Amino acid sequence: MFTGLVTEWFLDEKYRLVFLDRVDRQVKHAGHRIELSEIEIVAQKHAEVTDAIVIHTVSEHNVSQLLGFYIGEAEPNDLRSHLNETLPAHMVPQQLVKVAKFPLNVNGKVDRKKLLAELEASAKLEAPTEQTAPAGVASPEILAAAREVLAHPALSPSTDFFTSGVQSIQAIALARRLRELGFTCQVSDIYRYPTVAQLTQVLTATASSSPATTTSTHAERTLDKSALDRLTANIVADSVDLAGGILL
């Protein structure tokens, strides 16, 4: 039976097949088994992309993430739109990073560990500190929580969570973390105000409201149709992904 599995093997002295290792790059992400090279091939078909590498990571909080690195003139949002036209949502990398070149190891192959290390180093350099961030733009607590829970260390106050690949399960986790920090936050707030700057405005306003005004503030924090559609679609998609993962 053909399974699509690509392997390295050889015949031993008794003409038995001996399995050595997988040579494909199949990973499990969002309840699906996916081949990273399929994503790379689609990315390389963009007119302004000359090369692309996709890396799968799992954070210490067990958050699975796809990171796409590419060489070319395309902007990340343009490349994301290109990928969305061909690939299902679970195969579109959460982060797309433009680089000048790929680091190589001694064998002349792309050094993926060094690529990740360079991304982590650049994220630390680019991340605004409490002193350099414009006053009133974002709560340091909310920004730090979002970066940690969403596994996105370079997240800026104005970055839309969902265009950067956040899934509904992560949105639920972020709402829970913000409640632990003392904010009155609902999952629907993450969808209605999908940036740290927007969340800062609504959550800090609620926290500073008197009991009499808090009720009216909550009443106004309802989802419009587009946000509700996105919430429903994401939850259904993630539920299907999880069900598929259980059956695999």
pTM: 0.61
Residue 94's pLDDT is 85
- CA dist 77 and 38 (Å) reads 19
- Which range among 16-30, 41-55, 169-183, 225-239 shows the weakest confidence by mean pLDDT? 225-239
Averaged pLDDT of the chain:
77
Q: Chain centroid to CA 196: how far? A: 16
- Which range among 49-53, 54-58, 215-219 shows the weakest confidence by mean pLDDT? 215-219
Task: Give the tens place of pLDDT for each residue, 53-96.
Answer: 999 988 776 778 899 999 999 999 899 999 999 998 889 998 89
Residue 155's pLDDT is 84
Q: 174 burial class (0-12, 13-18, 19+ CB within 10 angstroms)?
A: buried
| pLDDT bucket at 40, cuts 50 / 70 / 90 | very high
| pLDDT bucket at 49, cuts 50 / 70 / 90 | very high
- CA dist 157 and 147 (Å) reads 10
CB of 170 closer than 8 Å to CB of 150: yes
Q: At what angle do helices 211-220 and 196-208 cross, to 10 degrees?
A: 150
Residue 166, helix vs strand vs coil = coil
Q: CA-CA distances (angstroms) from residue 79 to 39, 67, 84? A: 12, 13, 9
64-72, strands of its sheet edge to edge: 49-58, 64-72, 95-98
Contacts 24+ apart (CB under 8 A), 181-187: 181/141, 181/142, 181/145, 182/207, 183/142, 183/207, 184/214, 184/218, 186/221, 187/231
CB of 155 closer than 8 Å to CB of 196: yes
Task: Give the tens place of pLDDT for each residue, 93-149.
Answer: 988 999 999 999 888 889 999 998 888 777 654 444 443 445 447 889 999 999 888
CB of 5 closer than 8 Å to CB of 24: yes
- CA dist 96 and 73 (Å) reads 13
User: Which residues make beta-bridge pairs with 54?
Assistant: 68
Residue 216's pLDDT is 42
